Amino acid sequence: SILEIKTTVICPATQKHVKKYLSQEMLLVEETGEDYLSTTLPYIESQSFSVQWVYNILEKKAEADRIVFEDPDPDTGFVLLPDFKWDQKQLYDLYLIAIVHRRNIKSLRDLTSDHLPLLRNISKKGKESIQKQYGMSACKLRVYLHYQPSYYHLHVHFTSLNYDAPGCGVERAHLLTDVIMNLEADPQYYQNRTITYTLRADDNLLLRFREAGRC
Amino acid sequence: SILEIKTTVICPATQKHVKKYLSQEMLLVEETGEDYLSTTLPYIESQSFSVQWVYNILEKKAEADRIVFEDPDPDTGFVLLPDFKWDQKQLYDLYLIAIVHRRNIKSLRDLTSDHLPLLRNISKKGKESIQKQYGMSACKLRVYLHYQPSYYHLHVHFTSLNYDAPGCGVERAHLLTDVIMNLEADPQYYQNRTITYTLRADDNLLLRFREAGRC
């Protein structure tokens, strides 16, 4: 029913959780390739965000029973599993994540034409697996990357087109088919292109951009 | 308050209204430049969608009192006015539309580098007008075009970043800054590029794609 209301209960909630769900002013950043090198990359490195939990999944130390599909190839392989936002009880809000085996691809910004075989493999086998496992065809899927991502290890989102998934807005999502076409046209596209995205007013990266006089 | 619920009452409602608000399966189309010429353009022309209501606005025969800003230049000019979805009572869901004076630009697909002065003018003066009229700075605005648009006369959407506006998803919205960069890099970008978008399962254009064996 369209009158159904879905809720998420977080208990106990930390200050970080409260902050995440509080309405927050968003601001636009137009990040040039130069901005990435001078501002964003040093910020990411200074935070030393841990992706150990991702490595635990890739090494089957965690969530091994949740894996829907795996291509073990170290260069072009990935693991596909349901996102935690999806309870898997119905298909309208289908949401899976493909996490690549290759390490040290932090985000869209690191992609070059060298990664085309990886990206095409994720597109093809991700869609095939979802068709096989859930009976949902590729023409009902939105397949995209986030920039900025919420963690700096390359992953691809697969969501149902009928689901208005959080983070599928034009200011954060990049369709995998567009990413592939951009890299086919220009191997250094994501090193040079100005990418527009939004940050919360209290995001530390936004403060860095402000300090750099870039917004 | 975040507990506030906003409703829209449509009375009397036609079958078309009911259809619009019914939950409908969406399907993905990957439209090549060739598909546009062989399938989409003939469809648009066969429908002879009327944009007389747009011409009435441009000619001040309708809604003249709602115009926030106008640049009357026949080549690079436009009219800026609030979208009907915005009641103008608060800024969080700010929504304005810039409608170009030039006719015969149906959509993104018709844009070439010849239109860069028009697009840059809309970007610059649209943002300046919204700053002046509503005190909202450019870094809080999402500025984009739809493809497919809901009517085939070029127009640009200006919405508040804090507002999750309908149609601002990656599968329909194209940021104006990206459109400008794409045309700077390739004058024929929008004639040649494959553009991904979604259509409702009962959309007549989707039926045309099906007949052409393209989905």
pLDDT tens digits along B46-87? 987 789 999 999 999 999 999 999 999 999 999 999 999 999
Instruction: Tell me what pLDDT residue B11 has.
Output: 74
What pLDDT was estimated at residue B130?
98
pLDDT band of residue A4 (cuts 50, 70, 90) is: low
Residues of A annotated as catalytic (active site), given as ranges? 155
Is B184 part of the contact surface with chain A (CB cutoff 8 Å)?
no
Across the range A190-204, mean pLDDT stands at 96
Q: Residues, chain B, total? A: 215
Tell me whether A170 touches chain B (CB under 8 Å): yes
Mean pLDDT rounded to a whole number for chain B: 92
pLDDT at residue A81, as a whole number: 98
Across the range A89-113, mean pLDDT stands at 97
User: Tell me: the pLDDT tens digits for B97-139?
Assistant: 999 999 999 999 999 999 999 999 999 999 999 999 999 999 9
User: Cis omega (within 30 of 0) on the bond before B148?
Assistant: yes
Predicted pLDDT at B49: 79
Q: How far apart are the CA of A180 and the nearest CA of chain B, in angstroms?
A: 11
- Give the pLDDT band of residue A204 (cuts 50, 70, 90): very high
CATH topology of domain A15-211: HIT family, subunit A (3.30.428)
Q: Do residues A47 and A39 touch, judged by C-beta distance below 8 A?
A: no
**Candidate from B140, B141, B170 with C-beta closest to A144:** B170
pLDDT at residue A47, rounded to an integer: 87
Q: Which of B138, B174, B215 is nearest residue A139 as measured by Cβ atoms?
A: B215
pLDDT over 80 (residue B152): yes
Q: State which residue of chain A sits closest to B160, comparing Cα positions.
A: A26
Q: End-to-end distance of chain B based on CA atoms, in angstroms?
A: 44
> Alpha carbon A11 to chain centroid distance?
26
Residue B155 known to be catalytic: yes
Interface test with A, best of B24, B170, B180, B189 (most A CBs within 10 A): B170
Domain boundaries, chain B: 51-194
DSSP-derived letter for residue A114 is G
Measure Cα distances from B105 to B29, B115, B152, B193, B194 in Å.
Answer: 22, 10, 8, 17, 19
What mean pLDDT is predicted for residues B15-44?
86
pLDDT at A12: 72
If you average pLDDT over residues A56-79, what whole number do you get? 97
State the Cα–Cα distance between residues A19 and B96, nearest whole angstrom.
30
Among B28, B174, B193, beta carbon nearest to A139: B28
Q: A139 CB near a chain B CB, below 8 Å?
A: yes
- The CATH class for the domain spanning B51-194 reads alpha beta
DSSP 8-state code for residue B189: H
Interchain proximity A164–B162, CB inside 8 Å: no
